[in-house]
């Protein structure tokens, strides 16, 4: 009888011990550190330079062919080309891209607040 009680006690201890270890191992990701104004400006300048470099005919916008040649650098533009091309000229200007991004962020923020 004492052997059975000991085994039951060990089983219970093992169960709760494993639960404690499992809960200790589940950690949340650290919060993102907000970017400084300088980091944001540098990122924006870098993106605009890449955009300009991908605009091979220097017409101020990226066509589907130019996007394809960029090798996936502008995935969001490729994915949402039709939505972004508001004037339907077959290319995405930086202004069209910025306007779409602003609206997209606002939609995401609104959805997150619900």
Average pLDDT of every residue of the chain: 83
Mean pLDDT within 4-22:
51
Average pLDDT over residues 97-109: 93
Q: Convert 12-30 to b/e letters by CB count within 10 Å (16 or more is b).
A: eeeeeeeeeeeeeeeeeee
Enter the pTM of the model: 0.66
pLDDT at residue 18, rounded to an integer? 47
Return the higher-pLDDT residue of 62 and 6: 62
Question: Which class is domain 45-112?
Answer: mainly alpha
Share of the chain above pLDDT 70, in %: 75
pLDDT at 32: 81
Domain boundaries, the chain: 45-112
Predicted confidence (pLDDT) per residue in 68-78, tens digit? 999 989 999 99
| pLDDT at residue 27, rounded to an integer | 59
- Summarize pLDDT for 15-54 with one digit per residue, the tens: 555 444 445 455 566 778 889 999 999 999 999 999 999 9
């Amino acid at each position: 009888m004492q052997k059975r009680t000991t085994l039951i006690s060990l089983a219970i201890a093992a169960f709760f011990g494993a639960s404690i270890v499992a809960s200790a191992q589940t950690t949340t990701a650290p919060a993102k550190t907000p970017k400084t104004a300088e980091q944001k400006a540098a990122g924006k300048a870098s993106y605009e330079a890449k955009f300009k470099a991908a605009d091979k005919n220097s017409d101020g916008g990226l066509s589907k062919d130019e996007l394809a040649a960029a090798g996936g650098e502008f995935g969001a533009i490729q994915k949402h080309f039709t939505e972004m091309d508001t004037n339907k000229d077959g290319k995405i200007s930086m202004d069209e891209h910025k306007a779409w991004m602003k609206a997209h962020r606002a939609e995401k923020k609104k959805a997150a607040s619900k």
